[in-house]
């Protein structure tokens, strides 16, 4: 089954647009888990088990695993293979050319077996093609990211008067989606940008990070991101769920926060 079909099915089954980011900061893993032979794996496994029926996807950030060296990549591989019943997006922000991009794609989709990946468009379409050629996998292209520095380049005004991020969205929609496996990343801290991208790309999935710890307004982001049917958005939250508690009840607390966020997202869908 293609990634976006799997994503849609999981979203409808769980009545959820919540994407849960897996950013396992070692220093914030609860103390009682740190005695486990692989504390990062044990932590992620507990979070997935506690929340999988509330999410439409999980999104591990590869950096937190790569920082642990070779054992960290093996941990990530084990996390990806856990039973979860929802798809998994590898947050890697890859973007390089030729054989380098092909190698990155093989790592992500063959060795790690991720269902989807995040990509940087800065090097152009030939840097994305090795990933997009895996027609059954999803590819989320960075468009307008949630960090403050995104304005340095992404908001630059082009000769036609539109910002660069919107040109990226339009180009991706028109030229890079021949396999119908492309989505866009637009940060929750920029609801007007989300609305612009949604208007330009009415039937592309939008991955929306930046709610919770990064301060994006949840309701505004949801209303701007969803399509006409109230779907096609993944609202990502990471630290607010993962570290809802630092004690032995961390998984229970993570589930409670995931319930709260899922329900708040759904309320915004209905009320929007």
Residue 72 to residues 25, 78, 89, 112, 225, Cα–Cα distance (Å): 12, 10, 17, 12, 33
Give the tens place of pLDDT for each residue, 41-75: 999 999 999 999 999 999 999 999 999 999 999 99
Q: Is the pLDDT of residue 145 over 60?
A: yes
* Residues 221, 202: Cα–Cα separation, whole Å: 15
Average pLDDT over residues 220-247: 96
Report the percent of the chain where pLDDT is more than 90. Answer: 90
In this predicted structure, the answer to whether residue 118 has a pLDDT above a threshold of 80 is yes
CA distance 87 to 239: 20
Report the C-alpha gap between 66 and 159 in whole angstroms: 40
CA separation for the pair 133, 140 (Å, rounded): 13
Cα 106 to Cα 46: distance, rounded to the nearest angstrom: 28
Whether 144 is a known active-site residue: answer: no
For the domain 3-271, what is the CATH code? Answer: 3.20.20.70
Region 239-263 average pLDDT: 97
Q: What is the pLDDT of residue 272?
A: 56
What would the pLDDT profile of 186-211 be if each residue is shown by its tens digit? 999 889 999 999 999 999 999 999 88
Q: Among 93, 170, 171, 239, which one carries the catalytic annotation?
A: 93
């Amino acid at each position: 089954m293609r990634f976006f079909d799997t994503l849609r099915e999981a979203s409808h089954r769980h009545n959820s647009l919540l994407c849960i980011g897996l950013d396992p900061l070692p220093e914030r893993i609860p103390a009682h888990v740190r005695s486990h032979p692989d504390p990062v794996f044990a932590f992620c496994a507990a979070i997935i088990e506690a929340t999988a029926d509330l999410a439409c996807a999980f999104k591990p950030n590869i950096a937190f695993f790569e920082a642990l060296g070779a054992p960290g990549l093996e941990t990530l591989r084990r996390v990806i293979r856990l039973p979860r019943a929802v798809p998994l997006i590898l947050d890697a922000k890859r973007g390089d050319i030729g054989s380098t991009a092909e190698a990155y794609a093989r790592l992500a989709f063959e060795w790690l077996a991720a269902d989807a990946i995040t990509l940087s468009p800065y090097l152009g379409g030939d840097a994305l093609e090795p990933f997009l050629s895996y027609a059954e996998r999803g590819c989320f292209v960075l468009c307008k990211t949630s960090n403050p520095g995104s304005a340095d380049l992404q908001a630059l005004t082009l000769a036609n008067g539109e910002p660069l991020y919107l040109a990226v969205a339009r180009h991706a929609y028109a030229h890079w989606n021949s396999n119908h496996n492309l989505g866009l990343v637009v940060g929750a801290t920029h609801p007007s940008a989300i609305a612009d991208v949604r208007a330009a790309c009415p039937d592309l999935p939008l991955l929306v990070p930046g709610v919770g710890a990064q301060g994006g307004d949840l309701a505004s982001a949801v209303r701007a991101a969803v399509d006409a049917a109230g779907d096609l958005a993944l609202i990502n939250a990471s630290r607010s769920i993962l570290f809802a508690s630092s004690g032995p009840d961390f998984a229970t607390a993570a589930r409670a926060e995931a319930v709260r966020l899922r329900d708040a997202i759904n309320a915004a869908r209905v009320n929007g």
